[in-house]
Structure 1
Amino acid sequence: MNDAQIWTMIGAFTALMLGMMTIVSTLFIRVLRAEIGGLRSEVNGRFDVMNARMDGLDRDVQALVKRTFGLDRD
């Protein structure tokens, strides 16, 4: 092999490595974003459930207070 062939092989190998690193990092970022998005939707869903429970608890406590203190009897 002469100098031109060696430099061509070095250039091709470098281009191949940079291309592979680009593809791997791009796919990794996509997977990471998808996982974070799924986690966000799960957490938001849990907050929605807790808000519904708190609303129900608030309604029940108000009913108990009205019944206990006779506020519902006009």
Structure 2
Amino acid sequence: MNEPQVWALIGVFAAGMCGTITLVVTMFVRIMKTEFASVRNEFTSVRNEFASVRREMALGFEAVRTEFRAVHGRIDAIDRDVNAIYRHLSGIDRS
């Protein structure tokens, strides 16, 4: 343990280990940053897709409301016609 070559080898080994650990940690941090950015982009695209679906559903609901209003108008017209026929046949309409 007193030989200078042993201490030199210990120093080289320690420097190599520190360098390897530094390289691995740096690469790990870089990969994690990249993956977090990727996940963030995926969440953004999912959020945009949900917003698109929500807009399409709102348009679809508005179309359904329009159709219901049209059907309601037709039912009112049929009700008016049936009442007129009933009054005509029952003699209520004759003055």
The number of residues matched between the two structures is 71
Q: In structure 2, what residue type is equivalent to 1:55?
A: R
Q: For each residue in 1:42-71, what CA deviation from the matched residue of structure 2 results, as whole angstroms up to 9, or x when unmatched?
A: 12101101101101101211222233135x
Identity of aligned residues (%): 27
Q: Larger relative CO (CA 8 A, sep 6+): 1 or 2? A: 1
**Aligned equivalents of 2:2 and 2:44: distance in 1?**
63
1:9 corresponds in structure 2 to: 9
TM-score with structure 1 setting the length: 0.80
TM-score with structure 2 setting the length: 0.65
2:21 corresponds in structure 1 to: 21
Report 1:1-74 matches (<5 A).
Answer: 3-70=3-70
Looking at CA atoms only, which structure, 1 or 2, has the larger radius of gyration? 2
Q: In structure 1, what residue type is equivalent to 2:32?
A: L
Cα displacement (A) at 1:3: 2.0
**Aligned equivalents of 1:61 and 1:43: distance in 2?**
26
Q: For each residue in 1:11-48, what CA deviation from the matched residue of structure 2 results, as whole angstroms up to 9, or x when unmatched?
A: 11101100010001101111111112111111210110
**Structure 2 portions without partners, runs of 5+:** 74-95
**TM superposition outliers: structure 1 runs of 4+ over 2 Å:** none
Q: In structure 1, what residue type is equivalent to 2:30?
A: R
**Aligned equivalents of 1:2 and 1:43: distance in 2?**
60
Alignment RMSD: 2.0
**Structure 1 portions without partners, runs of 5+:** none
